[in-house]
Chain A
């Protein structure tokens, strides 16, 4: 103490708001270990089944949180303790689900994943063919083409819908909003069947990639429109006033001020739209039909797509085909991660001086 004064040192940077008293630490440790210890012992002794002891643990832990919170800070601490314990369980639940999905795709998918698997197509490959031959190159291309076309169609229409609702404020605004909402409830298989019934069954088109893209569009459009609508609402009214006061027409205000300001949010809208459809199988079954050959022409002939390939693969009773399906799932997961990262990086503002 006195030496610090004599040497006149500048103090080191500290974060006093993060310091916990020893009492706090003790309460947290006791409250979080006691129920676990208790339930584990019961389970080990064998009095209760694992499921029951697990449920008992959840109840006891939340109760322990409540008691610890009350001791610490009275009634307001009670709510705190209950919430912290509940949120912890919610986090653990979601974390378990997510990691188990990713884990099973990873472990089962790595078996068949070789370079040739990503590049080659599935022609001449039967479900019993050994791993090391054939691949899903045709399905990767198909998915990229179909999702690409669906994005090209639905993003402009979706943003235009959002502009109509938030900027134009036309007379049918409420009707359009209602329709978008109703559309977002359409089951994906209905979207596929709709395209099949109107365009394929009537003989206007054959099974092809464009039909799949149109079915995807039906699913993507409401997601893009609703997200874009929320994003455009966040653009401050001040900016619209400023632009109007400079002598801009409504159209120029939207195209030069509102949309650029909301750019990164609109990219989010697009990504959410893609995320909505990229793993969808049902809309493709009746529209692109699936193919083992490489077909990159979206308006002629059946096409392949990764979700459809996975769907067909995991239904087979043969181990190699199932392994290939898992690898396809892994490839799809990877594609989505790469694409989303890319879109985020490209849309981030690289200009200097941003606060």
Chain B
């Protein structure tokens, strides 16, 4: 079913900033426009995500950050009124090409949600292995994989004695790390995180941040966050999103994190990261 959406006359300013390499990219969006029904919510977003980097997406609420990362692994299309234009290039192929199966895309580009959502009918161990079963993958050594994934997510020591308890018996922070372990068990190339720490206490937050830094040695991470300090702590690159009046959101500036926070090009970026608005 092809839905044509009338274009809203809005021209997004070009994204500013420099210092993000355009070589060795794992993931990139090119001139991405996003709609919900007739309303355009994102305009002309072109961002590059270099291999084994952590990119933080910051910006005020409602500017389309979450929508944006949902377009990166084809979760966006699950909303009935959703539409989009442009390309998302993942490992040199457009994921919105008609020949691409969204299930394969989601298998390689994992996602961690804002609210911890372990499967309540499964044990901790089953939760970690659920990705394998759901995607019909086989793994010869399941116990090893459970330990590896939980260790990567920084949860192994806390739960190794009660792997047969249900996921719901863990605290909120532990549940979130369980969800991270679950995403890691299918060995994705990219991990998208939508405010993964917004429901966590400071201790769990630091733990998750350390996990992200460890992951970035072999994985590309994109993280949406409202916490400026968190972006500075974990991200190699930062992109600043903004929406003004009733126009769609767009990416104002994208560059190395220390540039965005220390020496931003755009005045609005400077105002936002210094807490003067938003």
Contact = CB atoms under 8 A, between A and B. Distances in A.
Interface of A: 236, 238-239, 241-249, 252-253, 256-257, 260-261, 263, 349, 351-355
B130 A243 contact: yes
Interface residues of B, number: 34
Nearest to A257: B119
Contact of A247 (B78, B120, B162, B186): B186
Given A236-B117, A241-B113, A261-B119, A246 B162 contact: no
B87 interface: no
Given A246-B106, A261-B121, A263-B121, A354 B133 contact: no
Contacts of B119: 239, 242-243, 257, 260-261
Interface in B128-166: 130-131, 133-136, 162, 164-166
Given A249-B103, A355-B168, A242 B135 contact: no
B186 A246 contact: yes
A244 B165 contact: no
Nearest to A243: B134
Contacts of A353: 162, 164-166, 168-169
- Max chain A C-beta neighbours (<10 A), residue from B107, B117, B136, B165: B117
A307 B108 CA distance: 59
A246 B110 contact: yes
B254 to A, nearest CB: 24
B73 interface: yes
B94 to A, nearest CB: 18
A229 B119 CA distance: 20
Contacts of B123: 351
Interface of B is mostly: mixed
Interface string B169-199: 1000000000100110010000000000000
Contacts of A261: 119-121
Contacts of B122: 260
A353 B121 CA distance: 12
Contact of A246 (B78, B104, B183): B183
A256 B129 CA distance: 12
Contacts of A256: 130, 133-134
Interface of B: 73, 75, 78, 103-104, 106-108, 110-111, 113, 115, 117, 119-123, 130-131, 133-136, 162, 164-166, 168-169, 179, 182-183, 186
Q: Which 10 pairs between the two chains have the least Cβ-Cβ distance?
A: A247-B107, A353-B165, A353-B169, A248-B134, A245-B111, A238-B117, A260-B121, A246-B131, A247-B135, A247-B106
Contact of B166 (A241, A244, A249, A351): A351
23 contacts: A238-B113, A245-B113, A246-B131, A246-B186, A247-B103, A247-B131, A247-B135, A248-B103, A248-B131, A248-B135, A252-B133, A252-B134, A256-B133, A257-B119, A257-B121, A257-B134, A260-B119, A260-B121, A260-B122, A351-B123, A351-B166, A353-B164, A355-B166
A11 B100 CA distance: 68
A245 B120 contact: no
A132 B67 CA distance: 76
Nearest to B73: A245
B78 A354 contact: no
Contacts of B182: 242, 246
Nearest to A260: B121
A241 to B, nearest CB: 7
A241 B117 contact: yes
Contacts of B164: 351-353
B137 to A, nearest CB: 8
Nearest to B132: A246
A244 to B, nearest CB: 6
B81 to A, nearest CB: 14
A100 to B, nearest CB: 42
Contacts of A241: 75, 78, 111, 113, 117
Contact of B78 (A236, A238, A244, A248): A244
A355 B171 CA distance: 11
A245 B106 contact: yes
A19 to B, nearest CB: 35
Given A245-B110, A246-B182, A354 B134 contact: no
Contacts of B179: 242
A236 B59 CA distance: 28
B134 to A, nearest CB: 4
B75 A354 contact: no
Contacts of B117: 236, 238-239, 241-242
A202 to B, nearest CB: 44
Contacts of B73: 245
A355 to B, nearest CB: 5
Nearest to B137: A247
